[in-house]
Structure 1
Amino acid sequence: MYTVVVVDDERTIAEGVAALFPWDQVGFRAVPFTEPKAALAYIRENPVEVLLSDIEMPGMNGIELCRAVAELHLTVVFLSSHQNYEYLRSAIQCRVEDYILKPIQSKDVIECFGKIREKLDKRMQKEKEQPQSYYDAIKKQVIAYLETHYQDARLESAAARVGLSAAYLSSLLRDKFGSGFSEELNLIRMRKASELLRDVTQKTYDVAYYVGYDNPKSFSRAFKNHYGITPREYRMNYTGKEEGLE
């Protein structure tokens, strides 16, 4: 099942398109947004294959949103109530897959996304047929990125480094290696944190911030979930000393 993010500043359209069209018939699930910037944040943090966006929107229009996700290699489809030449020209420049006019018809969606599904399936199959050494090389690059950027690592940035979409990189890591991007990032963060906690001069809240947590309590929960003990208990077990503040 692929994911399509639907963006339209009119809530009835965004939610209506996501809820009323037979997405499952063409192998998709739809996630609606009325704020382009919120949609962009979601796309950057989650596996998404297709962006279905209105063009005329306040704050950030569809063209700008399309350009903002260009490095993620998403398939983009525009929605519009106008047959405007400038929009069409911009769509071509952005390498948009299709251009659906409002009011949207089910047959147009099914036809458009049926073709997109076929292309995505072929691309996925081709990538799956790569030799294991190809996947090993990708994971090695991702781990190298995480080792350096574990404080602020993002799936989209890692994907851009290896020339894949964020959605495909996420599924590749899970399918080929049994753990996703977030799990790999957490492993590295926890390892770095354990190293820092062995130094009793380091405050726990400083360790939390250093490994990418803004909230020390969130860090403590994550640490305990990973190691089975709190950062304080880990430090006591390892050094026999306590920081005094946590």
Structure 2
Amino acid sequence: MYRLLIVDDEYEIRNGLKNYFPWETLGFQVVQDCSNGKEALQYIDNNPVDVLLCDIKLPFMSGIEVAQTLYEQKSPITVLFLSGYRDFEYARQAIKYNVKHYLVKPTKYDELVNIFTEVKKDLDKVYREKAENDFAYYDDLVIKVKRYINDQLDIANLNEASHIVGLTPNYLSKIFKDITGINFSHYLLDVKMQKSKEYLMSTQLKTYEISDKLGYGNPKNFTRTFKKHFGMSPREFRNKKQLRS
């Protein structure tokens, strides 16, 4: 549901729009209604709003001034004007401040349905593109973290990885899990274990040497972890591979 704020100084119009139009069937929820522009901006400052349906002639601050303020703040809120004044100057100013639609009172039911159906399509497109961009950004971020792990396997850790990509450890942990489907710590362990297998199969390094290369301070911890992961000790794994070859 997209969050809709209705602003009109006439109670009957404001109440009628809020309570007697099927907003939810179109994908909108009226989160608040205000009687003037200042009240509307105060609400927006403290609450998330996706769409603003605003009368032009308002006490304290006109709808034009509200739209101008949001425009100058680079607000992503979609603004629609509602007015009883058929005035080209109002419409021109509305376009200047990126107002999407200009409705004349009394609004027709079908007109509201058509316009807000179009608004929802536009919002869906914007949010879909944003989600795709976010995914691409975080996907690149995870690739960067994986590269760090591969390059610094002996000292790699979540805190350092989060510092490299400019996120908090908790947030990086969440993003990493969302993108890869596996916890950071589990991924790090898997990389270490796969690397240990490579060392055992292709080198003559001792167990304690492999342990050191993988960042284990105590070879016993490495052996214990390897056995838990593969069901056999590093020595047993190496002997088994040598017998097969």
Q: TM-score range by the shorter chain?
A: 0.5 to 0.7
2:35–2:58 Cα contact (<8 Å) kept: no
1:36 aligns with 37
Structure 2 residue aligned with 1:69? 70
RMSD (CA atoms): 2.3
Tell me the CA shift for residue 23 of structure 1.
Answer: 0.4
The residue aligned with 2:225 is none
| TM-superposition CA deviations, 1:214-239 (whole Å, max 9, x none) | xxxxxxxxxxxxxxxxxxxxxxxxxx
- Detail structure 1 runs of 4+ shifted over 2 Å in the superposition: 130-137
> Structure 2 CA distance, aligned partners of 1:97 and 1:114?
13
Question: Structure 1's 126 and 25: CA in aligned 2 closer, same or farther, altered over 3 A?
Answer: same
Alpha carbons of 1:135 and 1:104: their partners in 2 closer, same or farther (altered >3 Å)? farther
Match of 1:123 among 121, 126, 139: 126
Opposite residue 98 of structure 2, the aligned amino acid is R
TM-score by length of 2: 0.53
Give per-residue Cα distances to partners, 1:169-205, cap 9 Å, x unaligned. xxxx9xx87xxxxxxxxxxxxxxxxxxxxxxxxxxxx
Post-superposition Cα deviations, 1:25-52, rounded to whole Å, max 9, x if no partner, equal 1100112111221111111221111111
* Post-superposition CA distance 1:64-104 (Å, at most 9, x none): 01111122121110001121011111111111110111012
Equivalents in 2 of 1:135, 1:49: separation in Å? 24
Q: Greater Rg, structure 1 or structure 2?
A: 2
Aligned residues: percent identity? Answer: 39
C-alpha distance in 2 between matches for 1:108 and 1:132: 36
Q: Does 1:3 align with 2:6?
A: no
Give the SS at the match of 1:69: helix
Give the whole-Å Cα distance in 2 for the aligned partners of 1:98 and 1:113: 10
Q: Partner of 2:112 in structure 1? A: 109
Q: Which has the higher contact order (CA 8 A, sep 6+)?
A: 1
* AA matched with 1:4: L
Cα distance change on mapping 1:92 and 1:131 into 2, 3 Å: closer
CA contact (8 A) 2:49 2:77 kept: yes
Q: Which runs of 5+ in 2 are unaligned?
A: 141-170, 176-245
Matched, 1:84 2:87: yes
Gaps of 5+ in 1: 138-172, 178-246
Compared with structure 1, are the counterparts of its residues 20 and 85 closer, same or farther at alpha carbon in structure 2 (3 Å cutoff)? same
* One-letter identity of the residue aligned with 1:52: L
Q: Cα gap change, 1:135/1:116 in structure 2, threshold over 3 Å: closer, same or farther?
A: farther
User: How much does 1:134 deviate?
Assistant: 2.7
Kindly indicate whether residue 26 of structure 2 is the aligned counterpart of residue 18 of structure 1.
no
Equivalent-residue separation in structure 2 for 1:131 and 1:8 (angstroms)? 36
- The change in CA–CA distance for 1:34 and 1:129 in structure 2 (over 3 A counts) is same
Report the CA distance shift for 1:15/1:136 in structure 2 as closer, same or farther (over 3 A).
farther
Number of residue pairs matched by the alignment = 141
TM-score relative to the length of structure 1: 0.53
Look up the SS of the partner of 2:85 in the other structure. coil
Counterpart among 93, 97, 104 of residue 96 in structure 2: 93
Q: Are residues 133 and 114 of structure 1, via their aligned partners in 2, closer, same or farther at CA, if it must alter by over 3 Å?
A: closer
Deviation at 1:130, TM superposition (A): 2.2
Alignment partners' CA distance in 1, 2:108 and 2:25: 15
* Structure 2 Cα separation of the partners of residues 10 and 18 of structure 1: 12
Q: Distance in 2 between matches of 1:108 and 1:96?
A: 17
Which secondary structure state, in structure 2, belongs to the residue aligned with residue 130 of structure 1?
helix
Matched residue of 2:29: which SS?
A: strand
